[in-house]
A = this chain, B = another copy of it.
Amino acid sequence: MKKLIAGIDIGGTNTAFGLVDDAGTVHAEGIISTCKYIDFDIYLQALRDAINQLIDKAEESFELAGIGIGAPNGNYYTGCIEFAPNLPWVGVLPLVEKLSALVPNIPIVLTNDANAAAIGEMIYGDAKGMKNFAVITLGTGLGSGIVVNGEILYGHDGYAGELGHTIASINGRECGCGRCGCLETYASATGIKRTVYKLLADHAADSELKNISYNELSAEMICTAAINGDTIAREAFAHTGEHLGRALANLVAITSPEAIFLFGGLVKAGKYILEPTKKAMEENLLKFWQGKIKLLLSGLNEKNAAVLGAAALVSSETITSS
Contacts and interface: CB of A to CB of B under 8 A. Distances in A.
A9 B149 CA distance: 27
B257 A156 contact: yes
A246 to B, nearest CB: 6
Nearest to A162: B253
Interface in A92-134: 131-133
Contact of A131 (B132, B151, B156, B158): B156
A210 interface: no
A276 interface: no
A146 B253 CA distance: 12
A10 to B, nearest CB: 19
B256 A166 contact: no
Contact of A167 (B250, B289, B292): B250
A167 B288 contact: no
B132 A155 contact: yes
A74 to B, nearest CB: 14
A254 B166 contact: yes
14 contacts: A132-B155, A133-B156, A154-B256, A155-B255, A156-B256, A158-B256, A159-B288, A162-B254, A162-B286, A166-B249, A166-B254, A167-B246, A167-B250, A170-B246
